[in-house]
Chain A
Amino acid sequence: GENVEQHPSTLSVQEGDSAVIKCTYSDSASNYFPWYKQELGKGPQLIIDIRSNVGEKKDQRIAVTLNKTAKHFSLHITETQPEDSAVYFCAASSGGFKTIFGAGTRLFVKA
């Protein structure tokens, strides 16, 4: 079945450094790729998304890149801050009602 692999499972960076999380999807029909941030005890919140007709999207310190040929997309966080510490999930959807999630990356930003 459809699958989204996410790496790394844990990432520790120093405040001010960049963080990169990578995902690979299996369903070639996928056309929507959201990223969610989940803080402790809360539900995930959308932080950025990208559609298949775009290769890159940026929102302040956060950017996402998409390589449809390789079925690969990545989240880039620059100038990390302690409040960026959370679990990040990538996901892929082919337009129906099912969204496939990666297993998550726990990001620690050390002050």
Chain B
Amino acid sequence: DGGITQSPKYLFRKEGQNVTLSCEQNLNHDAMYWYRQDPGQGLRLIYYSQIVNDFQKGDIAEGYSVSREKKESFPLTVTSAQKNPTAFYLCASSIGTGSSPLHFGNGTRLTVT
């Protein structure tokens, strides 16, 4: 079954620590994305990658970093510089441009105390 796997489902960290969220896809999609979801708000784009070794900032990239060393993998690091990191993080992929449907993973809920 093709899909996107995000791990872990729940993550707890102390303030001041960096944390990395995993995202793996076996859909053979070129494009991958990270979104942040907060209660009562739509999804906001953090970073996206059109192809291996390339990524672009989204609307709320401050305090986050990514890498795209393999087509299948697009990990997100939430750094200590992110002022309000507690949120639900969603990884997605698509065949091509924004005119293609997004395929989402089941998310990672990060809680920072």
Contacts A32-B98, A94-B98 given: A4-B40 contact, CB under 8 Å?
no
A contact residues, range: 20 to 34
Give chain A residues whose Cβ lies under 8 Å from the Cβ of B58: 98
The stretch of A36-44, A54-62, A63-71 that contacts the partner chain:
A36-44
Is A101 an interface position by the 8 A CB rule? yes
Partner of B98, one of A4, A97, A104: A97
Contacts A97-B50, A98-B58 given: A46-B40 contact, CB under 8 Å?
no
Name A34's closest neighbour in chain B (CB-CB): B101
Residue ranges of B at the interface with A (Cβ–Cβ < 8 Å) = 4, 6, 31, 33, 40-45, 48, 50, 56, 58-59, 90, 92, 97-99, 101-107
Residue ranges of A at the interface with B (Cβ–Cβ < 8 Å) = 4, 6, 9, 31-32, 34, 36, 41-46, 49, 51, 89, 91, 93-104
Instruction: List 16 additional A-B contacts (Cβ < 8 Å) besides A95-B98, A101-B44, A104-B42.
Output: A6-B42, A9-B40, A32-B98, A43-B4, A43-B90, A43-B104, A43-B105, A43-B107, A44-B90, A51-B99, A95-B97, A97-B50, A97-B98, A98-B98, A99-B45, A104-B40
